[in-house]
Each structure stands twice: as C-alpha cells, then as structure tokens.
Amino acid sequence: MDTNKNRLTSKEITNLFSQYIQEAMAICVSKYVLETVGDSDVLSLFEFSLQLTKKHVEKLNEFFDIENFPVPDGFTDKDVKLETPPLFLDIFWLHYLYTTSNIRLSNYSLTLATSIRQDIRDFYFQCNIDAMEIVKNVLKFFYQKVLMKSVLIFPILKS
C-alpha cells in the first residue's frame, strides 16, 4: 500500500495553515465589531460570519489533528482589546465584510482547484458556499438601505 496516497500535499498544507491564520484574525475582528457596532443588521451579519468562521477553524483543527500537524500560532483574544472604543462607523464594517468575503471567495476557489484530496476539496467547496452566503446577505442589506442603488444604475444611452 502506498503510504503517501492520502497525505497532504505541500500546497494543501500551505493553504490550510494560511487559512487558519486568516480565520483566527477574522474571529478577533468579528468579536471586536460585535462589541462596538450599533446597527442591529450589521451586528447580525457579523454574528453569522463569526459562526461560520468558528466552524472553519474547527474543521481546520480536525485536519491538523488527523495529520499530526501542529496547529499554527494564530491570532487570539490577547491580540484584540474589546474595550477599545469604536474605530469606524458601522457602514465601514459592511464594506469590510463585503470586501473580505470576496477575497475569501477568490482564495477558496484557488485552493479548491489546487487541492488533491477529496476531503480538502469538499472543505473548500463548503467555504465557498459560506462566503457566498455572507456576500448575498451583505448585498441584501445594502439594497434594503438603498446604499448601492445609485452605484449600480447606469444610464442607457439612445443612439
């Protein structure tokens, strides 16, 4: 039996480690936002995002445990001061969540395409679905608040 058949590739290891660091940072940012944001819609979006991020970290920990890899030193509660007064307006956090979710979509797609193992591909497939759900919810909020309508409307020129 080939002992290397189901081992993680170097690319998969790199992607998992990198994602762990990114997700750990996202947890810290989300916790801060949940402590400082005033808008209930923004609050619910970040609660949902935090729930998904924690789910991703749990799965990443499972991969590291199964492979007997050390868990990376990610960001922790020591890296964020929740008592810090708000640094940005609530609308900034919507743009932040929208932008980071789009970046995640790009990253997840690339990691899915470069992964060999089916369980890793399945994980990144689900991560893509999660990120799309966040983008969908953020856009829904933007449309409800009429924040993007003027940006998305183009005049139709008649010839």
Residue 14, H or E segment: helix 10-36
Do 128 and 101 touch, CB atoms closer than 8 A? no
Q: Which domains does the chain have, with CATH numbers?
A: 10-152 (1.20.1260.10)
String of DSSP letters for 58-79: HHHHHHHHHTTPPPP----GGG
For residue 148, pLDDT beyond 60: no
User: Tens digit of pLDDT for each residue in 66-125?
Assistant: 999 999 999 999 999 999 999 899 889 999 999 999 999 999 999 999 999 999 999 999
Residue 49, H or E segment: helix 40-66
- Give which of 57, 55, 54 is closest to 19, Cα–Cα: 57
